[in-house]
């Protein structure tokens, strides 16, 4: 089985696959490899920079900016300070620390902060091209790089002020080092694997599931020599990660006591191709077509992977199966773990989505002698990507909102004896980002509830401490501008209430004199008689 594993991870493109690549485009790619490499980079740059100014911001992005600007020591206190529920926050600090340095160098505007994720996404496209070229050759590498450059799932998180684009980059680099180390036995590649694996863990705790699947590959192939190298590199990675690993139990306790994720049903695995191809959410009218294209692309690629070959030893097909394994092993592991402690979030599967796209790229290249098969797969991907990118660029529903114009309007309306109160942190933090001096308050989440994720220690670091209840938030104000997401009110109605309890309380204490519709947000103006 050791020789089988070496074939799978061999850096030379599969001869049989290369023989299929005889289309004019494939011949041009082989003749101009450097020019071909710039195509996915150019496409990826356009896709990732388009809309980073116009796209609305949401709570998580606002939190990232407001938190990172406080500096490392303040963030450390706001993350690890003990509470009754464990640590204050559940995320490591690698990304926030990078964001701190980035904003100090390039500014704290929303587009500037988003450019850090754009950079991580662009480097990921480059690494995809290099890895795919080593495994399959330049034509497949061009397909793989272009698919990752345009994929809605990848583009979304390459524009967001969160850690997921960086997570994808570190894990893909760990995969590249794993591949190079497996065929050369050079200790420097295993040192790189250890370093990038540790970086991934410092970026997001759920990095473990992808790394575990990657490390388990030689065990499944019964390649004991490679397994020994992986274990040695894994121990080195754990030593590098040890300073944070000591705090992991407290962070896990936070997840156990207060986390918004529900136990995933099996449908989450069945719709995973939809996430990989179009991303979610989709509008109800888009969902059937999006699901059909995603499942059809996956079924065609599975057929291409499983169909009989002329020879039993096909390194290109074997490497494609490795990518297929990496695409679905971490989601399955995360799903199984989440039956015990729910932590299943699709955005943590970004690296697995990259492997899925490399596998799809191989399927397209492998269809060189079947142009109709290639055209069908490309057409399906164009449809799926178009649906996903359109949704990404146009979606303005919960939890996004027009916070900039809203804050400008509120400042123009607010009298000296008025108060702006937000139903929750979800609208408060983005509003603060647009106007630090506007007097605003927000109501704390119910203690111990699944949404009670912003701990008091983190609130103190941000300088934005929540009022314990609505009465405390409004104080003795005669005029209240109350901001609430429509989704919050709709949830209360679905639960059988006439309206949200906060609105009910305000209606009894004040008179509602005005209502303003701000898309996904509602603003109610109340006066005390």
Is the pLDDT reported for residue 317 higher than 90? no
- As a whole number of angstroms, the distance between CA 460 and CA 466 comes to 9
- For residue 17, the model assigns a pLDDT of 42
Answer yes or no: are the C-beta atoms of 368 and 14 closer than 8 Å: no
- For residue 11, the model assigns a pLDDT of 43
pLDDT band at 393 (very low <50, low <70, confident <90, very high): very high
- For residue 313, the model assigns a pLDDT of 56
Answer yes or no: are the C-beta atoms of 102 and 113 closer than 8 Å: yes
Instruction: List, as one string, the DSSP characters of 139-196.
Output: HHHHHHHHHHHH-HHHHHHTSSSSSHHHHHHHHHHHHHHHHHHHHH--HHHHHHHHHH
Tell whether the torsion through CA atoms of 80, 208, 359 and 336 is positive or negative.
negative
- For residue 85, the model assigns a pLDDT of 61
pLDDT band at 12 (very low <50, low <70, confident <90, very high): very low
pLDDT band at 34 (very low <50, low <70, confident <90, very high): confident
- For residue 1, the model assigns a pLDDT of 46
- As a whole number of angstroms, the distance between CA 78 and CA 67 comes to 9
% of the chain surpassing 70 pLDDT: 90
Which tens digit of pLDDT belongs to each residue from 331-370?
999 999 999 888 899 999 999 999 999 999 999 988 766 7
Write down all domains in the chain, each with its CATH number in brackets: 2-394 (no CATH), 403-527 (3.40.50)
- As a whole number of angstroms, the distance between CA 525 and CA 506 comes to 10
Tell whether the torsion through CA atoms of 228, 229, 231 and 235 is positive or negative.
positive
- As a whole number of angstroms, the distance between CA 517 and CA 519 comes to 6
- For residue 18, the model assigns a pLDDT of 44
Instruction: List, as one string, the DSSP characters of 369-401.
Output: G-HHHHHHHHHHHHHHHHHHHHHHHH---TT--
Q: 505 to each of 13, 423, 470, 510, how far by Cα in Å? A: 68, 12, 8, 9
Is the pLDDT reported for residue 16 higher than 50? no
- For residue 185, the model assigns a pLDDT of 78
DSSP character at residue 339:
T
Which tens digit of pLDDT belongs to each residue from 170-185?
999 999 999 999 988 7
- As a whole number of angstroms, the distance between CA 125 and CA 44 comes to 7
Q: What is the mean pLDDT of the chain?
A: 90
Mean pLDDT of 103-130: 96
Which tens digit of pLDDT belongs to each residue from 142-153?
999 999 999 999
> Which carries the bigger pLDDT value, residue 294 or residue 415?
294
- For residue 253, the model assigns a pLDDT of 72
Answer yes or no: are the C-beta atoms of 209 and 334 closer than 8 Å: yes
- For residue 256, the model assigns a pLDDT of 63
pTM exceeding the 0.85 threshold for the entire prediction: yes
Which tens digit of pLDDT belongs to each residue from 36-58?
889 999 999 999 999 899 899 99
pLDDT band at 516 (very low <50, low <70, confident <90, very high): very high
- For residue 29, the model assigns a pLDDT of 74
% of the chain surpassing 90 pLDDT: 74
- For residue 466, the model assigns a pLDDT of 95
Is the pLDDT reported for residue 452 higher than 90? no
Mean pLDDT of 402-411: 95
- For residue 404, the model assigns a pLDDT of 95
**What residues does 481 pair with on adjacent strands?**
420, 525
- As a whole number of angstroms, the distance between CA 238 and CA 179 comes to 20
- For residue 19, the model assigns a pLDDT of 44
Is the pLDDT reported for residue 7 higher than 90? no
């Amino acid at each position: 089985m050791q020789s089988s594993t070496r074939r799978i991870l061999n850096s030379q493109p599969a001869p049989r696959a290369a023989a299929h690549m005889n289309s004019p485009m494939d011949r041009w790619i082989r003749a101009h490899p450097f020019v071909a490499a710039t195509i996915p980079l150019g496409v990826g740059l356009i896709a990732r920079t388009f809309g980073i100014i116009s796209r609305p911001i949401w709570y998580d992005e606002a939190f990232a900016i407001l938190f990172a600007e406080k500096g490392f020591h303040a963030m450390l206190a706001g993350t690890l300070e003990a509470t009754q529920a464990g640590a204050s926050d559940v995320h490591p600090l690698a990304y926030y620390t990078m964001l701190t340095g980035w904003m100090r160098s390039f500014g704290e505007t929303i587009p500037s902060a988003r450019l850090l994720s754009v950079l991580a996404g662009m480097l990921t496209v480059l690494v995809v091209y290099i890895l795919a070229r080593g495994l399959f050759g330049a034509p497949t590498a061009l397909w793989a790089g272009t698919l990752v450059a345009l994929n809605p799932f990848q583009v979304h998180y390459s524009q967001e002020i969160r850690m997921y684009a960086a997570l994808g980059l570190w894990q893909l680099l760990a995969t590249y080092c794993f591949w190079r180390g497996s065929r050369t036995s050079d200790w420097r590649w295993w040192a790189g694997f250890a370093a990038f694996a540790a970086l991934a863990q410092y970026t997001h705790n759920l990095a473990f599931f992808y790394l575990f699947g990657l490390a388990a590959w030689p065990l499944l192939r019964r390649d004991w020599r490679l397994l020994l190298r992986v274990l040695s590199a894994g121990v080195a990675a754990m030593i590098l990660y040890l300073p944070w690993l000591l705090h992991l139990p407290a962070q896990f306790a936070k997840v156990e006591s207060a986390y918004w994720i529900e136990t995933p049903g099996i449908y989450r695995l069945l719709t995973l191709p939809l996430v990989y191809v179009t991303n979610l959410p989709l509008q109800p009218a888009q969902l059937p077509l999006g699901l059909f294209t995603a499942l059809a692309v996956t079924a065609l690629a599975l057929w291409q992977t499983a169909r009989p070959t002329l020879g039993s030893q096909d390194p290109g097909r074997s490497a494609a199966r490795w990518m297929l394994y990496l695409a679905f092993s971490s989601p399955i592991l995360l799903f199984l773990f989440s039956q015990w402690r729910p932590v299943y979030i699709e955005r943590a599967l970004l690296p697995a989505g990259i492997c899925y796209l490399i596998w799809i790229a191989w399927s397209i290249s492998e269809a060189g002698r079947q142009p109709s098969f290639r055209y069908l797969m490309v057409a399906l991907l164009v449809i799926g990507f178009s649906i996903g990118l359109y949704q990404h660029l146009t979606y303005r529903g919960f939890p996004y909102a027009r916070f900039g114009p809203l804050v400008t309007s509120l400042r123009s309306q607010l009298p000296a004896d008025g108060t702006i109160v937000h139903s929750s942190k979800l609208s408060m933090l983005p509003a603060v980002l647009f106007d630090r001096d506007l007097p605003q308050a927000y109501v704390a989440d119910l203690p111990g509830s699944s949404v009670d994720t912003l701990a008091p220690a983190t609130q103190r670091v941000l300088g934005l401490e929540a009022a314990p209840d609505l009465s405390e938030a409004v104080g003795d104000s005669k005029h209240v501008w109350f901001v609430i997401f429509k989704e919050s009110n709709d949830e209360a109605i679905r639960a059988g209430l006439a309206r949200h309890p906060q609105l009910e309380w305000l209606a009894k204490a004040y008179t509602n004199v005005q209502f303003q519709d701000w898309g996904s947000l509602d603003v109610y103006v109340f006066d005390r008689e």
